[in-house]
Structure 1
Amino acid sequence: MFLNNKFVLFLLILLLIGLNVMVLMRVSFVFEPFVILLKTIVLPVVLAGVAYYLLNPLVDFLEKHRIRRIYSIFGLFIAIIGLITWAIVSVVPLIQAQILDIAEEFPSYIRQIGQELAGLWYSPIINDVKETLNIDIQRFAESFSNRTTEFIDNASGRVFSFVGTITEVVLAIVTLPFILFYLLKDGKRLPGYIVQFIPVKLRGQSLQVLGDINHQISSYIRGQIIVSFCIGVLLYIGYLIIGLDYSLTLAVIAAFTSVVPYVGPTIAITPALIIALVTSPIMLLKMVAVWTIVQLVEGKFISPQIMGKNLHIHPITIIFVILTAGNLFGIIGILLAVPGYAVLKVICTHAFAWIKQYSKLYDEKKTEPKK
């Protein structure tokens, strides 16, 4: 009677899990080599996975038209090398010059904004509020400007950390083509290889779980990257029309940050707001109008057509997941938050369905009349 109580059994399972976690924490040094290995391979594997989901449909399409898979992969590699070469020669120098110019002028932008806010602060209407709240916005603006300048001046002290990060990125880029080649060549065999480590009775359901996970991740990655590219192109066109400075760099920043849903656009609009505000109030209004139009087009036309509703995740849930993953794992956590949550959702959904089915069979067997 005690063991047949489902709540008591659930508590016993939690107790066993807690004991296992406690024991593993006591001998965590045993797993240190595996942690180092995981940290080393996670970046190239993630990059290769993203590239795989982008390029695999093209390889499948060419294979259906009687072009051998190996030839299609080599052809795509040659095309990608050509695009990267063109970008390095034509686009990267322009973006680099604009970024250096922005970094050089950014402290003066902050000081100018602080002066304008301080002038506004001494207006007759604000004086009454200022006396009530006892807040000195000029001091705040000067403090913010000084801290920004200090951060830029002390950037040389972070050079070693920056060099270490660059080294990891370079190693990831070097190993990326090899991992990507084998993923494109033998990626379809990977689920069958994984289920070999699972009991025979669970292999069919495990293949279904892996298929659903693959569908969720592929839909999200392809859709999000296409949407981000469209946002970058639309913003670049809009910035060119209104004549905003550093239009290419601001559009590229918006495209990259838009990969993170809901949070990314908020980050992307900040430098554009600062530059437009320093330029003129009219430019600020124009920039806000362009950004609003682009967001409306993206929300009403682009995302519904490309992304659809494959993930079925509420926007509030996405925001909480991104914030939590960012606090736990940093930038990598922010980028992998939504697809990771989608994977966990698929696993938990199938696990719950399996437990429900097993409980139903157990109850039916228990209620069968004895012969």
Structure 2
Amino acid sequence: MIRLEITPRGLLTIALLAVGLWFLQQLWPLLLIVTTSFIFMAALLPYVEWLVRRGINRVAAVLLMLLLLILVLGSMIAIVAPAVIDEFRDLRNNLPDYAADVETFAADLGFNTERWDLPERAAEIDWNRIISGSQVVDYGQRVLVGILTGLTIAVITAYLLVETHRLRTFLFRFIPPEREADAHHFLRALERVVGGYVRGQLITSLIIGLYTTIVLLLTGVPNAVAFGVLAAFADIIPLVGAFIAVVPATIAAFQESPTQALIVLTALLIYQQFEDRLLVPRIYGQTLNLPALVVLLAVLAGAELMGIVGVLLALPAAAAARVVLDYYLERRTGSPTGLESPQVLAPDDPPLSS
């Protein structure tokens, strides 16, 4: 026989834990919004502090940074959306012709295309069924929810940036005086790693955007700037971002000629290898200090738990977990473990103490 005895205090603890888990499940979307806001705050804080130290009012500095960010995102959408719509409309109207070009190009390369029947299959596609009115409404609702979520994140990020010192003071009220130095050290490392990751991602996005634009301009592909911006945005998404960056540009090039598509595909794949093997390790090596396997598992876990949002938050979360692990190891061994990672693309080193 197994006999279990639980004290009233134990029952109360279990009940409180169950209630806490229930609240966490109910408030999960809000928790994601707040977490995203903290990530943006960590990325933008060095610039806000830099502006404040040069005599600009803190509220004005925060509004200036957010306005700049909104203008950049709005400009990206304004550039990409019309070009993508035009390319999709052209692909829908001329898909059988493009399918015939694919068969001809494959036959020239030595493939047996007698049974492919790509033009006939392309002509049989019912676009009205694929793009129905209910799907348009559903996508419209998702876009509206995304816009409202983005505005909410912007407001929370602004509040966190404006009230950074007050929030830090409030937090340290719950920390014993003998632990304040460790807390400052931990928060500094967390800001450096998470903020450094976001700013490092901006570097890689800018480079791939410029590279894609130049390749498409040299090969004479229309809407080169739009596809470059799309590649820059897609670079933010781990794993599937490479597919989004390469495929639309290649399809647009194929609408000009198969030869142009092959050149664009080859050039973009070469860059993907350059970014994965040289650029990313140099930019993130000192900031994240995470093995490639850990990065892959973090991305896969994020995708499984939260979909595309989880993919976007996976690496910042893994970077934050690395800070916690380094802090624990340093406390246990008494030797430094590299918490003071250099900030990527930060103007200077803003003090964290209020």
TM-score after normalising by structure 1: 0.70
Shift of 1:39: 0.7
Distance 1:124 1:60, change over 3 A: closer
1:158-177 equivalence runs, <5 A: 158-177=135-154
Indicate the larger mover: 222-231 or 185-194.
185-194
Task: Identify the residue that residue 88 of structure 2 maps to in structure 1.
Answer: 103
Task: Identify the residue that residue 62 of structure 1 maps to in structure 2.
Answer: 51
Task: Identify the residue that residue 30 of structure 2 maps to in structure 1.
Answer: 40
Shift of 1:144: 8.0
Report the Cα distance in structure 2 between the residues aligned to 1:110 and 1:343, rounded to whole angstroms: 46
Indicate the larger mover: 308-317 or 109-118.
109-118
Report the Cα distance in structure 2 between the residues aligned to 1:124 and 1:287, rounded to whole angstroms: 18
Distance 1:259 1:123, change over 3 A: closer
Shift of 1:328: 1.9
Task: Identify the residue that residue 52 of structure 1 maps to in structure 2.
Answer: 41
Indicate the larger mover: 338-347 or 156-165.
156-165
Task: Identify the residue that residue 244 of structure 2 maps to in structure 1.
Answer: 267
For residues 17-58 of structure 1, the C-alpha deviation after alignment (integer angstroms, 9 at most, x for no partner) is xx99xx689957x74454333313523x35533443443222
Shift of 1:212: 1.7
Indicate the larger mover: 312-321 or 294-303.
294-303
Shift of 1:259: 1.1
Letter in 2 for 1:56: L
Shift of 1:68: 3.4
For residues 87-112 of structure 1, the C-alpha deviation after alignment (integer angstroms, 9 at most, x for no partner) is 56xx7555333222222233456544
Distance 1:159 1:299, change over 3 A: closer
Report the Cα distance in structure 2 between the residues aligned to 1:24 and 1:146, rounded to whole angstroms: 59
> Kindly, what percent of the aligned residue pairs are identical?
22
Task: Identify the residue that residue 10 of structure 1 maps to in structure 2.
Answer: none
Shift of 1:232: 1.0
Report the Cα distance in structure 2 between the residues aligned to 1:247 and 1:124, rounded to whole angstroms: 28
Shift of 1:338: 0.9
Report the Cα distance in structure 1 between the residues aligned to 2:123 and 2:31, rounded to whole angstroms: 40
Report the Cα distance in structure 1 between the residues aligned to 2:310 and 2:18, rounded to whole angstroms: 26
Shift of 1:255: 0.7
1:226-245 equivalence runs, <5 A: 226-245=203-222
Task: Identify the residue that residue 351 of structure 2 maps to in structure 1.
Answer: none
Shift of 1:122: 7.1
**2:51 aligned with 1:73:** no
Distance 1:281 1:125, change over 3 A: closer
Shift of 1:306: 4.6
Report the Cα distance in structure 1 between the residues aligned to 2:257 and 2:67, rounded to whole angstroms: 46
Report the Cα distance in structure 1 between the residues aligned to 2:181 and 2:298, rounded to whole angstroms: 31
**2:211 aligned with 1:252:** no
Shift of 1:273: 2.0
**C-alpha contact 1:263 1:319 (8 A) present in aligned 2:** no
Report the Cα distance in structure 1 between the residues aligned to 2:29 and 2:255, rounded to whole angstroms: 42
Letter in 2 for 1:69: R
Task: Identify the residue that residue 324 of structure 1 maps to in structure 2.
Answer: 301
Report the Cα distance in structure 1 between the residues aligned to 2:104 and 2:215, rounded to whole angstroms: 31
Shift of 1:199: 5.7
Shift of 1:262: 5.0
Task: Identify the residue that residue 4 of structure 1 maps to in structure 2.
Answer: none
Distance 1:302 1:105, change over 3 A: same
**C-alpha contact 1:257 1:267 (8 A) present in aligned 2:** yes
Indicate the larger mover: 112-121 or 203-212.
112-121
SS across alignment from 2:163: helix
> Gapped runs of 5+ residues in structure 1?
1-18, 358-371
Shift of 1:222: 0.7
Task: Identify the residue that residue 218 of structure 1 maps to in structure 2.
Answer: 195
Distance 1:316 1:136, change over 3 A: farther
Distance 1:329 1:184, change over 3 A: same
Letter in 1 for 2:193: Q
Aligned length: 323
**2:131 aligned with 1:153:** yes
Greater relative contact order (CA < 8 Å, ≥ 6 in sequence):
2
Within the candidate set 327, 341, 344, 1:350 is matched to 327
Shift of 1:218: 0.8
SS across alignment from 1:287: helix
**2:262 aligned with 1:277:** no
Task: Identify the residue that residue 341 of structure 2 maps to in structure 1.
Answer: none
Larger Cα-atom Rg: 1
**C-alpha contact 2:87 2:252 (8 A) present in aligned 1:** no
Distance 1:112 1:349, change over 3 A: farther
Task: Identify the residue that residue 291 of structure 1 maps to in structure 2.
Answer: 268
**C-alpha contact 1:323 1:334 (8 A) present in aligned 2:** yes
Report the Cα distance in structure 2 between the residues aligned to 1:101 and 1:192, rounded to whole angstroms: 53
> Gapped runs of 5+ residues in structure 2?
1-9, 335-354
How large is the RMSD of aligned CA atoms in angstroms?
4.0
Shift of 1:213: 1.7
Report the Cα distance in structure 2 between the residues aligned to 1:300 and 1:341, rounded to whole angstroms: 20
1:89-128 equivalence runs, <5 A: 94-107=79-92, 111-112=96-97, 114-118=99-103, 126=111
Letter in 1 for 2:197: Y
SS across alignment from 1:213: helix
